[in-house]
Structure 1
């Protein structure tokens, strides 16, 4: 046999010996598999990340050899008490800032291991959970809040299923925040205009950017169901496939990073602000929700004959009762409430209806197995872990308390009176006062989150807006 053929066969044998898990795009089972997975890709650095209360990635980066050497990873507890502008809340309303600012241990969830495709050097990332030194879960961290709600469903023999839809804007770079955001220029050479809902041409304006989003997503094992152009100028929406809430929240968390990085590569910004451009539609994170039996996998929203169950109605009833009290999570910033106005494309009520996009809780037409409730209230600036947790918590409280909904709305509700809090402080007060919701989400989370939102509101009040300068400067 020639030396060339021997070399080819040897190479083929080496390929055959490669374990299947090494080729997993996303996730491994144990630490031994981690080492092989990293080595096969030549990974040099690891990003150990976790979402803070705003959904921002926090964590540590380290060489891959250090990551696999049983290194203990920790973050200060203050990381999860930080405002979006980098400040810290004051004590009060049940919140007490820990004097020692002790460490919380990062525990990598190896099922989330994936590459970071936009980095020049071979880099991987892994999402981490937070535990205390004794191994107990940290109640107020976002991933644990969602897990707490999912575990409550499991305790009653249920399993929630979700499918988020995330809207966002592409805008020109804006290094000076005093200037309004502007839509970017697409491949046509013209600035993008609004009114392009579901326009394929609108998507094609950003073909190369969208290709990068798809490629980056595929490299991380993230599954995009569909991508559309929304009504706003440069506004897009990504729909994700339905599945486990924690896995879907992880995907939204990573998608936000991915989309921002892809946009930066093309010298523009991607923003998930709820209302980034005056006169343009806001951006939402709609959440489709259903519930199945853990043992059988059958929907608890549908009877064997295909009709709606009492549980389905009670889920909607719970959403209607507790949704206004969850607005601090669904609309977490002052800017979020600029999206929630009458006679617009966003519902400002607690109504429900069949295939009615003007109500908060839409029931899309589907077969009995696919019966679900779409929560159309959350904005895209909300933390996906917390929005999913709060939304599912509202529904579970309705199931457990057998709360009956009102009659479905079969007409437009856009011009009805606003049933939701109009501002952040009002929303925080309602959030803290809802005792069943507090119990389900966790007392320390509710207190910590409320304190953060109050502190953010106070810093907003220090800023003088263009509206004040325009109408008050020379008139009052």
Structure 2
């Protein structure tokens, strides 16, 4: 296979090189099941070869756990002799990296077999499969992701705990919940200016920045995309931007779901609408506030499949610390209107822009797998005309609706492994790979003797 199966062209590479004579090297980045960018840094003269013949990468790169160790149960290591497959550049993701020295660029990659068939343990292909299934029905998803994160000091406090970063402008510190404080944002203005400059250079529609509901916590919003795949690419690229620019300013960007015990965690909410072949939003109601059957059925599908999908939305041990009552993280598969205490929210706004805000995912989740699972849930709801039940009003944390959500990480792993829905949502190979990786990570955590063990038991038992 010597022709790109994903549509990338040599003309794109040559145009970029001509426009950026200063760039000396490129990060080529493949996103694994955990959302980690793995790949290589290539020299400028190698870029055209990537576009004409792809780049060989070992199949095992998609079978690694969070630490980079092989997970043999994925079947991607020695079962295949750890042979090479071919990664190809994703069109539209060849971009400069702002502020690097010497100047570098970046391109996202997708993995294919040597004959050009998509490698089905690549999470991006899982999303593409769901997009294609909907397109066959004349439906086209649009949306955007929200990015919440912490900016932390590179040094721990006296007790060894992480602490919010000092303002990069003047070194001022704050341990307050400066939620929606505009003046507080001014202290991070040099960093956010570089983030916006980097996003602009990469064509990423980064918009509003907010000081969020914890010391050191922030949110960046992304403009809506008519192509949900591109929205997921935006999120992957924006996380890389934030991490790099924070490092350049001497602080740490943290994408753990719950880095500080006493405060709210960080979510990755997905905003989703659905258009038909004529471009009409099928979630729009005929009379404002009289919800359309399609949006109710879509919510019904998302609610019905949420419990068995939670491992995708909360994939790590730390992810489960985020689900605390009255923390803005949902505790049950509830839905409501203009209500941030539910899992599935219909935001207020113009009815022509009607959408669903899917709130369970932490910022540590893989956006491709999240989007694939959400689309599969919507499709199930539409196909089976599922009723979401009564709307939750008021405090959703006091709802009488029974919660079917797994209580912890281990339960979520078992539910995911047994789920025929999730297997269909992400594909059999991706399902096997993802659940095997999560099982291996669970066992790693379970056998680790932590500092908490010593604190609780050393002198007491």
Q: Same fold (TM over 0.5)?
A: yes
1:419 offset after TM fit, Å? 3.6
**2:142 alignment partner in structure 1:** 161
CA distance in 2, matches of 1:128, 1:255: 16
1:431 offset after TM fit, Å? 1.5
**2:3 alignment partner in structure 1:** none
1:228 matches 2:228 = no
| Alignment map for 1:395-410 (pairs within 5 Å) | 395-410=378-393
**1:74 alignment partner in structure 2:** 56
1:427 matches 2:412 = yes
The correspondence for 1:217, drawn from 196, 199, 207, is 199
1:62 matches 2:42 = yes
1:105 matches 2:90 = no
CA distance in 2, matches of 1:377, 1:387: 10
**2:11 alignment partner in structure 1:** 32
Total equivalences in the alignment = 447
User: In structure 1, the residue corresponding to 2:79 is in which secondary structure?
Assistant: coil
| Residues 385 and 194 of structure 1, relative CA distance in 2, 3 Å threshold | farther
**Which range is displaced more, 177-186 or 218-227?**
177-186
User: In structure 2, the residue corresponding to 1:182 is in which secondary structure?
Assistant: coil
The correspondence for 1:192, drawn from 157, 174, 191, is 174
- Equivalent pair of 2:258/2:265 in contact (CA under 8 Å): yes
User: In structure 2, the residue corresponding to 1:112 is in which secondary structure?
Assistant: coil
Bigger Rg, which one: 1
**1:312 alignment partner in structure 2:** 295
1:462 offset after TM fit, Å? 2.8
**Which range is displaced more, 70-79 or 350-359?**
70-79
Q: Give TM-score scaled by structure 1 length.
A: 0.89
| Residues 156 and 275 of structure 1, relative CA distance in 2, 3 Å threshold | same
| Residues 202 and 270 of structure 1, relative CA distance in 2, 3 Å threshold | same
**1:289 alignment partner in structure 2:** 272
User: In structure 2, the residue corresponding to 1:167 is in which secondary structure?
Assistant: strand
CA distance in 1, matches of 2:364, 2:99: 23
**2:459 alignment partner in structure 1:** 474
- Equivalent pair of 2:180/2:211 in contact (CA under 8 Å): yes
1:112 offset after TM fit, Å? 1.4
**2:33 alignment partner in structure 1:** 53
User: In structure 2, the residue corresponding to 1:387 is in which secondary structure?
Assistant: helix
1:427 offset after TM fit, Å? 0.8
- Equivalent pair of 1:194/1:231 in contact (CA under 8 Å): no
CA distance in 1, matches of 2:180, 2:156: 30
- Equivalent pair of 1:317/1:403 in contact (CA under 8 Å): yes
Q: CA RMSD in A?
A: 2.2
User: In structure 1, the residue corresponding to 2:115 is in which secondary structure?
Assistant: coil
**2:324 alignment partner in structure 1:** 341
Cα deviation code 1:57-90 (max 9, x no counterpart): 1122222222214344111111111000122224
1:121 matches 2:102 = yes
- Equivalent pair of 1:344/1:414 in contact (CA under 8 Å): no
- Equivalent pair of 2:330/2:359 in contact (CA under 8 Å): yes
The correspondence for 1:329, drawn from 290, 301, 312, is 312
1:467 offset after TM fit, Å? 2.8
User: In structure 1, the residue corresponding to 2:397 is in which secondary structure?
Assistant: coil
**1:20 alignment partner in structure 2:** none
| Residues 343 and 81 of structure 1, relative CA distance in 2, 3 Å threshold | same
User: In structure 2, the residue corresponding to 1:148 is in which secondary structure?
Assistant: helix
CA distance in 2, matches of 1:355, 1:262: 34
Q: Give TM-score scaled by structure 2 length.
A: 0.92
**2:4 alignment partner in structure 1:** none
CA distance in 2, matches of 1:88, 1:257: 24
- Equivalent pair of 2:257/2:319 in contact (CA under 8 Å): yes
| Residues 178 and 400 of structure 1, relative CA distance in 2, 3 Å threshold | farther
- Equivalent pair of 1:342/1:415 in contact (CA under 8 Å): no
CA distance in 1, matches of 2:214, 2:246: 17
1:47 offset after TM fit, Å? 2.1
